[in-house]
Structure 1
Amino acid sequence: MFISISFKSQKFQNIAKFLFLFSFLENLTYFFYRWNKAGHIPVTDAFTSFVFFALCVGLFQVLFLKKSKSFIVLFSSILISFTLFGLSIAGFSENIEPLIPALKSNWLAIHVITSFLAYAAFSMNFLIGTYILYTSKLKSDYITGSLSFSILVAGLLTSILANLLRYNIVILGIVIFIITFIVFIYFHKPFKNISKDLLVKPVYIGFPLLTTGIITGSIWAKYAWG
């Protein structure tokens, strides 16, 4: 995707989108594999919940793929990768453990699914909003957009390099963030505005989902702990 944006090649963009779809299907396959192996929907621990979050972001990107710009596809990919790489060094167990009594509830599954779908929708809104800021002609806007995108990219690269090189993660993150921010400012170019529907539709989807997640979470907590 970086190459397709740099060279403005439609061929590279199509290849990048194909790879994105392939990765999404790969993640979806892994999700159902875990479901089959565990015997229950795999959203009952930290590891599988973050895997599911990455899958949800991918789902929304697939739904908006035709309307969204390559830049948004790129950064949704970075957000997913950032989540998964962060997960890989967070120390969460990947083992499938027996469910404790409080987790043996359909309310929990509904609560987690709707909540993470809402988080993914709001993440897409964040990415699209940041893209609008970054492509603005106003200096304050594209600096804000550059800051946001730099945090994402620096977080991903820091997760990878800190895991490989064993450097101090704070110092490494600050250095990468500064370099990334300078790069974004240097390569900034105003683009045409995108459809406002692309910005507001994720909110229309995310708000009722989050509302449902809060309500079902309360019901689950009532049955689980009183």
Structure 2
Amino acid sequence: MHHILLIDDDELLAPPLAAYLRRFDFALEAALRPSEGLARLAAGGIDAVILDVMLPEMDGFELCRRIRRDSQIPVLMLTARGDLTDRVVGLELGADDYLPKPFEPRELAARLQTILRRVASHAPALAATEAPPHLLRFDGLVIDLERRSVHRQGEPVELTGTEFELLWLLARDPHKILSREEILNRLRGREADLYTRAVDVLVSRLRRKLEPLDAIKTLRNAGYTFALARLP
């Protein structure tokens, strides 16, 4: 069973949502305030976080930023009205996905399943079915699939689960062009609502973390490609 932490100041949201998510083998805990949520995360045992944008003490963006200082735990943000700016900011701060309010519980369950499947079992399944090398070496960059680690010029690079999946997706086929739509669908594992701006944000964030390496190239009206030279 996966343990999910909901950080939302709506006291009426958690009980019915927890009852619904039990059908999908999720155990939902709730924190009404960011300080409570951070304390619960520090105690351990949480597999993913559902995080509302509108919170007391601090907003969800600042809370996401604080979570990302110490943890790469999957974060799904709830954004009021599905505002594009909220979604983009959330992704820039390290959120793995977003869902506009009001939402259908079934879609929330599906998003959680996708995130956790991607983090926990995507890489082993990929290795078994496509048998790629577990270690990719480039000029200045080493990507280890088994350890889900990245070293840039000998220094470790902290990536979210989504950032790592994006990097692996591009790096395992250097110089292959992938469109934004292909990237979204591959990362989410299903035909997605095509917010292609989300891919632009993820790529931009990943590029910053890989600097000064110029690893990812943009091809106008085509997509993205991985540009570093592969080493034996």
TM-score above 0.5, yes or no:
no
TM-score by length of 1: 0.25
Higher RCO, 1 or 2 (CA under 8 Å, sep at least 6)?
1
Bigger helix fraction: 1
